[in-house]
A and B are shown apart, each in its own frame.
Chain A
């Protein structure tokens, strides 16, 4: 195991960002990844125990414990691959792009460690087609690692299409298998993913970077930051009504409003969108909520993919939400009826509401649609849209009452505060 004392003397606190980007500097500062030349059973057991002791939760959206995912993995043997998920289809998230540009070796070290621990024979890093700068940074890093013999198993780069749904892990595995980004219906959680006949272990890029750091510092340094129930640091992209949008590294448990303040809000926020476009709105009464899985769940939100969007005063939360759900509807993989028909219907209801054009039955109908669509897709895509819409009805309840009575929002029709990819086309899956 690595010499934790020496490393912590040079890095002071556990963190992902702020280390040298190039391989030479990476190794000089953090030391080489503690990869065994031939992974013995003892080393593997030690690695599993270390991941378990760290309490690391996945940083790609679900917060699934990394140790459990490792225990379920069936990737040993020829063809087995560790998939680095850097798809980051979430329009408000930049953390994985930043991480691959600033710390590509940390991410790849994490993938190599997992390959050694599981017996996988390959690392496949997925960056969407068209993200040239990120792809170039990764390609250059991979070249350096081959030259310096830092890649015990081959590292390859793949470019799935740039769509919101393409990063859903079963959809990503399917794309690697057949070239189609289609999520699978998986009623039995815990069934290992496969690419054809071979096993696949899919992890978000940030999760892997944490694994690479934890392997160097030991689990205690990771746990020294954040909360006992939800330890470590997290990358969060802050945007919206702020002067300095961007990615910040925060300790788990940091109050939501303090995360927003790191990006200098332009005024008192009206609400925060937490977790991403399939996340939830949080109103001022919950601004002090700690950014941690359990406390966010308690207020009906989720840490999701690490996104905080600040909604300023001069915006209509309902109009923004209608646009959000329309966007999510357009990003459906198009496989499941409740998602294909339900999300556009919910978006239309929200749009009607925001415009002050609600028919008398709208609120009752919308409530029924939200209940009926929830949980009825193969993946969680429609659930995210439903939860977002529900949180909007709750947080902007005063606006709902006013608009339902026929008063359109004074801010509706203004430029939206949330950002969307240009004309997100409903391309082939």
Chain B
């Protein structure tokens, strides 16, 4: 189970993540990412990795979680 973690200190609201992964990340009214808490579907993992890699602030990390909730 993979989950997306946004470091709110590092994040500067570039918003690329929401474009690359709209299925799991939306932007709030100020442009900061809101990650929906649902488990990340397996077919979205590669897009999530790309969102993490392409974040100019390196604010996104993917975490392996032992079990779902």
Residues on A facing B (Cβ under 8 Å): 182, 184-185, 187, 335-339, 341-342, 345, 369, 372, 376-378
- Residue in B5, B13, B31 whose beta carbon sits within 8 Å of that of A187 in the complex: B5
B45 within 8 Å of A by Cβ?
A: no
Chain B residues whose CB sits within 8 angstroms of the CB of A335 once the complex forms: 8-9
- Extra pairs beyond A182-B9, A378-B8 (7, CB < 8 Å): A337-B11, A337-B30, A338-B30, A341-B29, A341-B30, A372-B28, A378-B7
Contact check: which of A342, A372, A378 meets B9 at CB < 8 Å? A378
Chain A residue nearest to B26 (CB atoms) is: A372
Q: Tell me, yes or no, whether B16 is within 8 Å of chain A by CB.
A: no
Nearest CB in chain B to that of A365: its residue: B29
Chain A residues contacting B12 (CB-CB under 8 Å) are 337
Within the complex, which residue of A185, A187, A376 is in contact with B32, where a contact is CB–CB below 8 Å?
A376
A187 cross-chain contacts in B, Cβ below 8 A: 5, 63
Bound complex: CA of A30 vs CA of B69, how far in Å? 50
Total A-B contacts with CB atoms under 8 angstroms apart: 44
Residues of B within 8 A of A372 (CB): 28-29, 34
**CB-nearest residue of chain B relative to A377?**
B8
User: Given the complex, which residues of A lie within 8 Å of B28, measured CB to CB?
Assistant: 337-338, 342, 372
CB distance from A363 to the nearest CB of B (A): 16
Residues of B within 8 Å of A336, CB to CB, are: 8-9, 11
A-B contact pairs, 28 of them (CB 8 A): A182-B9, A184-B9, A185-B7, A185-B8, A185-B10, A187-B63, A335-B8, A335-B9, A336-B9, A337-B8, A337-B11, A337-B12, A337-B28, A337-B31, A337-B32, A338-B8, A338-B28, A339-B8, A341-B29, A341-B30, A341-B32, A342-B28, A342-B30, A369-B29, A376-B8, A376-B32, A378-B7, A378-B8
Task: Return B15 CB to nearest CB of chain A, in Å.
Answer: 11
Q: How far is the CB of A305 from chain B (nearest CB, A)?
A: 23
Kindly name the residue among B5, B31, B34 whose own CB sees the greatest number of chain A CB atoms within 10 A.
B34
Q: Most chain-B CB neighbours within 10 Å: which of A337, A339, A345, A377?
A: A337
CA distance A184 to B8 in the complex (A): 10
- Assembled-state Cα–Cα distance A376/B13 (Å): 13
Min CB distance A348 to B, Å, is 13
- A339 to B28: give the CA distance in the assembly, Å: 12
> Residues of B with Cβ closer than 8 Å to A?
5-13, 28-32, 34, 63
Residues from chain A with Cβ under 8 Å of B5 in the complex: 187
A144 to B32, CA, bound (A): 53
Closest CB-CB distance, B34 to chain A, in whole Å? 6
CA distance A341 to B29 in the complex (A): 9
**Across the interface, which residues of B come within 8 angstroms of A376, CB to CB?**
6, 8, 32, 34
Point out the residues of chain B lying under 8 angstroms from A185, CB to CB: 7-10
* C-alpha gap A342/B13 in the complex (Å): 14
Complex alpha-carbon distance, A336 and B13, angstroms: 10
A345–B63 Cα gap in the complex (Å)? 32
Contact A337 B7 (CB under 8 A): no
Q: How far is the CB of A189 from chain B (nearest CB, A)?
A: 13
CA distance A378 to B59 in the complex (A): 12
For the complex, give the distance between the alpha carbons of A345 and B28 in Å.
Answer: 12
CB neighbours (8 Å) of B63 from chain A are: 187
Contacts of A338 in B (CB 8 A): 8, 28, 30, 32
Q: How far, in angstroms, from A422 to B22 measured CA to CA in the complex?
A: 45
What is the chain A residue whose CB lies nearest that of B28? A372
Contacts of A337 in B (CB 8 A): 8, 11-13, 28, 30-32
Shortest Cβ distance from residue B61 to the other chain A in the assembled complex, whole angstroms: 8
Chain A residues whose C-beta falls within 8 Å of the C-beta of B34 in the assembled complex: 372, 376
A385 CB, min distance to chain B CBs, angstroms = 15
A187 to B30, alpha carbons, bound, how many Å?
23
Cβ distance B35 to chain A, nearest Cβ, rounded Å: 9
A residues near B30, Cβ cutoff 8 Å: 337-338, 341-342
CB neighbours of B10 from chain A (8 A): 185
Whole-angstrom distance between the Cβ of B2 and the nearest chain A Cβ: 14
A159 CB to closest chain B CB (Å) equals 25
Closest to A371 in B: B34
Give the chain B neighbours of A342 by CB distance below 8 A. Answer: 28, 30
Q: With the chains together, A185 CA to B58 CA distance in Å? A: 14
Please name the residue on chain A nearest to B32 by beta carbon. Answer: A337
Question: Which of B8, B12, B28 has its CB near the most chain A CB atoms (within 10 A)?
Answer: B8
Counting chain A CB atoms within 10 Å of each CB, the highest count among B10, B28, B31, B63 belongs to B28
